[in-house]
Amino acid sequence: MVKRHYRQPIITVLGHIDSGKTSLLDKIRGTAVQAKEAGGITQHIGASFMPKETIEAICGDLLSRFDFKMIVPGLLVIDTPGHEVFSNLRTRGGSASDISILLVDVIRGFQPQTHESVNILVSRRVPFLIAANKLDMIHGWRPQGTLSFMESLKNQSPETKERLTEKIYDIIAALSTYNFKGDYFERVKDFRETVAIIPVSAITGEGLQELLTIIVGLTQRFLLERLEVDYGGPARGSVLEVTEIPGLGTVLKAVHIEGILRKDQKIVLATPEGPITRRIKALMMPAPLDELRAPHKKFDFINETNPASGVIIAAADIEKAYAGSPFYAMPVDMDSTSYMEEVKREVEAIRIMEDKVGVVVKADTLGSLEAFVDYCGRKDIPVRKADVGFVSKRDIVEASVVKKTNDLRGVVLAFNVDVLSEAEEEAVKEDVPIIRGEILYRITEEYLEWVSQVHFREKQRRMEALVFPGKVKILRDYIFRRSKPAIMGVEVLKGRIKPKYNLIREDGKKVGNIHQIQEKGENLKEASKGMEVAISIREAVVGKDINEEDALLVDIPEKHAHQLLDEFYQDLSGDEREILEELTELKRRSNPTWAY
C-alpha cells in the first residue's frame, strides 16, 4: 500500500480591528515556545509552523478525549492577520487558506470588519470556526490558570455563565443573517452544517486547547484529501507580497502550497504585461530567534522547501509581479507553456476590461481585486474595468465614457490604492466620483448609498414638477371679493394646494387657476391639510361659478395623474390617494381611459 503524505493545513485569522487577532497569535506562539521540549515552533516568512508534538503538548488529554490522533504534521498559522493577506492567499479561484479562524470580540459581537470577513470567507468558500475572544472581559469571569475553556467554565458562577451564554447567542443571531447556523462547539453535531463557536481569551490562554483541537479535528475529518501532497508535479503557491529587502533587491513573500520548491528552478509569475519566467536566485527562511537579533543575519538561505511553508523568493526583474497571483516553479529544462497559460487564465478571470456600462474597480493586489469584483457581483454592481494599481487618468476617462450613458455607473471604486494627481484633476473636470477606502464592503455600501441618494434626489425633482392632489372648502362669511379676481377664505381639507394649480368643482366644471395664496398677509408657496388661507382666482365669479361652502378639487393634468398612479402612488399620503381616486373616478365618467 502506498503511504500517503500530508502537508500541514494553512490557517488564517480574520476579524475586526482590535478584536485581538495579533494577541491571539502571540498567545499561540508564546504557548508553543513554552512547550518547546515537545518540538517548539518554527518561524516561516509571514507564518508560524506548529509541529504535531507542540500541539499535542498544548492540547494535553483533550485530543484523546475527542478520540483522534494527529495525522497532519502540524499547523501553519499565517502570522499577519487581516483581509489583505487572506485575499492574496488565493489559488485557482479559491483560497490557499484551508481553514480560517474568525475572531469575534465576545463583548461587542459582530462589527464592520467582521461582516466583511464573513463576506470574503463566503466568496472564497473557506470553512471557518469562530473564536469568541476576550472571554476574560465577561463580567465576573475568574481566570483559572488553564488553557481549557471547559475546565475553567466549571468554576464560574451561574450569573457569569449566563452572561457568556447571552453573548454567544448574539453571535449566533449575527451568523443567521448569512444563513449560517452557529452554536457552542460542544453542542455541534455536524460541523459541516454548523459553525462552531469556541470562547477564548488571548490574555489568559483559556480556550486554546479547544480551539487547536477542533481545528485539527476539522482538517483531519474533512480536508485530508486537500492536504495530500503531490511531490511529482511542479511547485505551486501564492505570492503574498512584492517587497524590497536591502542587499537583496525586490523579492517575493510567498506561501508554498504544493510540490518541492528549489533554488535555481524556473518560476512562472503573473504581471500586468502577461506571464513571465525567471530563475530563482535564492530561497530564504527566517533565521532562528537567537540569530534574528543580529541585524547582519535575519534570514537563512536554503536550497528547497516542502509544502506548506512561508518563504522569500529572490529573482531578477520581478518588480511587476502581482501580489495575490499564483506561481509555479519547475526545472529550467521543463516546458512551462501550459503553466504560463494557467497563470494567464487565472489573472484574466479577475481583471476585467469590457465594453459595457459599469463601474471602474481598482485594488492594491490581485487577491483583493478578486474579492472586490466578487462582492460587486453579489451586490448587482456591473463592472466595466477591474485592475490592480493606482487610480490613473485612463481610469477616469473610462468612467467618464460610461457617465455619458449612465450617471450612476460612471464611478471609480478604489480599494487601498492612491489616486494619481492627474487622475484627481480629470475627475474634477469630468465630474466623476471616486469612492475609496480601506474596508472593502464599506466602499460598495458607500457607492450604493450614493446611488440611492441620487435616485432620491431625481425622484424628488420629478415629483416637484407634478401637480399633487388637493381639496379645499370655501369658508362661509369669508368672501373678500367676488370677481376679477375672486378672493375667498378656504380650508384645505386634504392634500395640498399651490399657486398656478387649477381647481374644479365636484361636478367637474372648471373654476380657474389659483393666482395667490396668503396667510395673515404673507404670500405662501403651498398650503397643506388643516390650514385656513385666502386664495385668489382670476377666472371665477362668486355666486355664478362658485359659492360659499363649495368643495373644490385640484384639477391634475392627465399625464401627471398617470405618473402619480403608476410611479409615485406609494409616496402619497392616505388623504392624497383618496382625492386622486375621487378625481380619477370623476374624470372617467366622461373619459373612461383617463390616466390609464
Q: How far apart are CA 494 and CA 335, in angstroms?
A: 82
Q: How many CB atoms lie within 10 A of CB 153?
A: 18
Instruction: Report DSSP letters for 545-589, one per residue.
Output: TB-TT-EEEE---HHHHHHHHHTSGGGS-HHHHHHHHHHHHHHTT
Q: Give the residue from 593, 585, 582, 587 showing the smallest Cα distance to 508.
A: 587
Q: Is 44 a catalytic residue?
A: no
Q: How far apart are CA 261 and CA 245, in angstroms?
A: 21
Instruction: Report DSSP letters for 291-302, one per residue.
Output: HHTSTT--EEEE
Residue 53 is inside which H or E element, if any?
helix 52-59
Q: Give the residue from 269, 369, 272, 347 showing the smallest Cα distance to 313.
A: 269
Residue 380 CB contacts under 8 Å (≥ 6 apart), including other chains = none
Give the CA angle between residues 488, 494, 496 to the nearest 5°.
70
Which one from 83, 115, 296, 562 is the annotated catalytic residue?
Answer: 83
Q: Rounded to a whole number, what is the largest CA-CA distance in the chain?
A: 111
Residue 457 is inside which H or E element, if any?
helix 440-464
* Bond prior to 308 in cis (omega within 30° of 0): yes
How far, in whole angstroms, is CA 434 from its chain's centroid? 18
Q: Which residues of 424-452 are buried (b: 16+ CB within 10 A; e: fewer)?
A: eebbeeeebbbbbeebbbbbbbbbeeeee
Q: How far apart are CA 225 and CA 222, in angstroms?
A: 8
Give the CA angle between residues 45, 49, 52 to the nearest 5°.
165
Q: How far apart are CA 115 and CA 118, in angstroms?
A: 5
Alpha-carbon dihedral 183, 186, 190, 194, rounded to 10 degrees: 20
Task: Specify the 3-state DSSP secondary structure of 464.
Answer: helix
Cell of 93: 479561484
Q: How far apart are CA 509 and CA 520, in angstroms?
A: 30
Q: Which residues are catalytic?
A: 83
